[in-house]
């Protein structure tokens, strides 16, 4: 099969082209048709970037033998035709093997037919923004700190970059500033295919040894890298580069980055959140972090106060229980109690009563969470009784169990005392 002419290598902003169908076969494993063209604007998956999507329309209704009909190698805008109503197929994936590119479609095209390729430009431009920004960041990290980009994934919602060295918060802030300065300068990306001699003398980034023709993407002053993917014409098209998170990863650093429209969408969503928080806390937007911290402190103080009150209520309830010399088993039902207070109270009861000591928190309709202990009886038998009677969940040891059960007070006590 002849090599596919990669028109996206010539011009990353091409959205359409004419091509001839060289083969079309059904791929049973993918449940779609594998189409090979003599040329394409569709970028195949590679270099950490997903493939282009789009559609291919069948142009074979034109009389190609007519001497008056001439087709451009690339653009169709001068033809003044519409694809509405023309037969065509949707392209969901594009792959490359050697020099041959395969387009995976939801329908067949006739071999020998003249067709028009149409890429999903919004998707392509988004990917170009992210990938071009990755070159800027990777070039800056390599030039400034000597680290290599050892992992790159351009996802549908975010992009991750892995470097083989650590970066501090201050370094990341400076890196982001420098990367966006490159955007503001609107520098042109240069695409070249150096001959072997020129390539050998060139200092460029590459994750692997390359053979054959090597495509070099250069942003003067920032990066020189071997790359097969389409890029923006100039750095200004990237719009914005924003590092939204950084984490240690395999001895180095993983950055999550949003660029262009993705960065704008993220900012808009966060701005709405800040506005809502500002309104809820009656604080100016620049002061919301301090206001949230204050609200958290107030909440914690309130929790301490509630716990203290609950402890006092529990102590009063415990005093109302029958004396240890009149009963072995004691059960207390409450609407709301702190978990630690419950466990502490059960432990205390177990030192005074010889039977089961249980505290149940909740309501008959919605169910209870419980802690039950004993200094002399096997609490696992109590758990089995509750499970058999009510389908209770939970477990523990012979000395103490905890779980949840839905039943009324009398039924729970009856199941425990008549096990």
Q: Please indicate, yes or no, whether residues 129 and 224 belong to a single structural domain of this protein.
A: yes
Q: What percent of the chain has pLDDT over 90?
A: 80
What whole-number distance in Å separates Cα of residue 216 and Cα of residue 200?
12
* Domain-ending residue, one of 59, 85, 119: 119
pLDDT digits (tens, 9 = 90+) for 200-254: 899 999 877 777 789 999 999 999 999 999 999 999 999 999 999 999 999 999 9
Q: What is the pTM of this model?
A: 0.73
Q: Please indicate, yes or no, whether residues 325 and 245 belong to a single structural domain of this protein.
A: no
H/E segment holding residue 36? strand 32-37
- Please give the distance of CA 388 from its chain centroid, rounded to a whole number: 44
Instruction: List b or e across 268-286, with b for residues whose CB sees 16 or more CB atoms inside 10 angstroms.
Output: eeeeeeeeebbeeeebeee
Q: Please indicate, yes or no, whether residues 148 and 178 belong to a single structural domain of this protein.
A: yes
* Domain-ending residue, one of 101, 119, 137: 119
CATH code of the domain containing 169: 3.30.980.10
3-state secondary structure of 43: coil
**pLDDT-derived band at 315, boundaries 50, 70, 90:** confident
Domain assignment present for residue 293? The answer is no
Q: Mean pLDDT throughout 183-196? A: 95
Residues 92 and 106: beta-carbon distance below 8 Å: yes
Q: Please indicate, yes or no, whether residues 379 and 409 belong to a single structural domain of this protein.
A: yes
Query: Which of the residue ranges 86-95, 312-321, 350-359 has the most confident prediction, judged by mean pLDDT?
Result: 350-359
pLDDT digits (tens, 9 = 90+) for 149-177: 999 999 999 999 999 999 999 999 999 99
Helices (H), 53-168: 121-145
Helices (H), 207-287: 261-281
Domain assignment present for residue 289? The answer is no
Residue 243 is encoded by which pair of tokens?
């590092």
- Which structural domain, as residue segments, surrounds residue 49? 5-119
Q: Mean pLDDT throughout 85-110? A: 90
* Domain-ending residue, one of 232, 252, 268: 268
Q: Please indicate, yes or no, whether residues 131 and 83 belong to a single structural domain of this protein.
A: no
Instruction: List b or e across 52-83, with b for residues whose CB sees 16 or more CB atoms inside 10 angstroms.
Output: bbbbbbbbbeeeeeeeeeebeebebeeeeeeb
What whole-number distance in Å separates Cα of residue 89 and Cα of residue 82?
15
Domain assignment present for residue 188? The answer is yes
What whole-number distance in Å separates Cα of residue 235 and Cα of residue 11?
16
Residues 255 and 246: beta-carbon distance below 8 Å: yes
H/E segment holding residue 346? helix 339-350
Q: Please indicate, yes or no, whether residues 263 and 343 belong to a single structural domain of this protein.
A: no
Q: Please indicate, yes or no, whether residues 100 and 141 belong to a single structural domain of this protein.
A: no
Q: Please indicate, yes or no, whether residues 132 and 201 belong to a single structural domain of this protein.
A: yes
Domain assignment present for residue 313? The answer is no
The domain tally of the chain equals 3
Q: Across the chain, how many H-helices and E-strands are there?
A: 9, 20
Residue 102 is encoded by which pair of tokens?
């395969």
CATH code of the domain containing 397: 3.10.310.40
Q: Please indicate, yes or no, whether residues 113 and 132 belong to a single structural domain of this protein.
A: no
Q: Please indicate, yes or no, whether residues 330 and 399 belong to a single structural domain of this protein.
A: yes
CATH code of the domain containing 60: 2.40.30.130
70-84, 163-177, 282-296, 366-380: which range is least confident on average?
70-84
Q: Please indicate, yes or no, whether residues 107 and 160 belong to a single structural domain of this protein.
A: no
Q: Please indicate, yes or no, whether residues 185 and 245 belong to a single structural domain of this protein.
A: yes
């Amino acid at each position: 099969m002849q090599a596919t002419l990669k028109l996206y290598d010539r011009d990353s902003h091409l959205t359409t082209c004419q091509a001839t169908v060289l083969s079309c076969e059904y791929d049973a494993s993918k449940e779609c048709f594998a189409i090979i063209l003599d040329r394409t604007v569709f970028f195949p998956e590679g270099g950490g970037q997903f493939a282009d999507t789009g559609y291919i329309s069948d142009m074979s209704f034109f009389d190609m033998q007519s001497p008056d009909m001439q087709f451009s190698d690339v653009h169709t805008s001068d033809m003044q035709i519409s694809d509405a109503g023309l037969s065509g197929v949707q392209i969901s994936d594009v792959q490359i093997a050697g020099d041959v590119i395969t387009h995976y479609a939801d329908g067949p095209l006739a071999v020998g037919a003249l067709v028009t390729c149409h890429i999903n430009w919004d998707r392509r431009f988004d990917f170009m923004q992210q990938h071009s920004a990755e070159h800027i960041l990777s070039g800056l990290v390599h030039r400034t700190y000597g680290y290599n980009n050892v992992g790159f994934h351009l996802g549908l919602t975010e992009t991750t970059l892995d470097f083989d060295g650590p970066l501090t918060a201050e370094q990341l802030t400076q890196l982001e500033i420098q990367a966006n300065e490159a955007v503001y300068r609107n520098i042109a990306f240069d695409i070249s295919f150096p001959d072997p001699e020129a390539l050998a003398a060139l200092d460029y980034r590459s994750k692997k040894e390359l053979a054959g023709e090597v495509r070099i993407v250069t942003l003067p002053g920032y990066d020189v890298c071997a790359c097969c993917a389409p890029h923006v014409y100039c750095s200004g098209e990237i719009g914005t580069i924003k590092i939204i998170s950084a984490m240690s990863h395999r001895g180095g650093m993983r950055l999550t980055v949003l660029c262009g429209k993705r960065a704008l969408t993220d900012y808009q969503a966060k701005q709405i959140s800040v506005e809502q928080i500002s309104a809820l806390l009656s604080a100016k937007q620049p002061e919301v972090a301090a206001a949230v911290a204050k609200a958290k402190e107030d909440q914690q103080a309130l929790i301490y106060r509630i716990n203290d009150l609950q402890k006092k209520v529990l102590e009063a309830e415990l005093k109302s229980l029958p004396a240890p010399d009149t009963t072995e088993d004691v059960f207390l039902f409450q609407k709301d109690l702190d978990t630690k207070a419950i466990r502490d109270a059960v432990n205390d009861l177990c030192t005074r009563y010889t039977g089961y000591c249980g505290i149940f928190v909740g309501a008959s309709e919605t169910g209870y969470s419980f802690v039950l202990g004993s200094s002399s009886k096997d609490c696992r038998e109590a758990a089995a009784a509750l499970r058999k009677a009510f389908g209770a969940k939970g477990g523990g040891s012979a000395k103490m169990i905890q779980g949840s059960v839905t039943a009324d007070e009398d039924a729970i006590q009856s199941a425990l005392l008549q096990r």
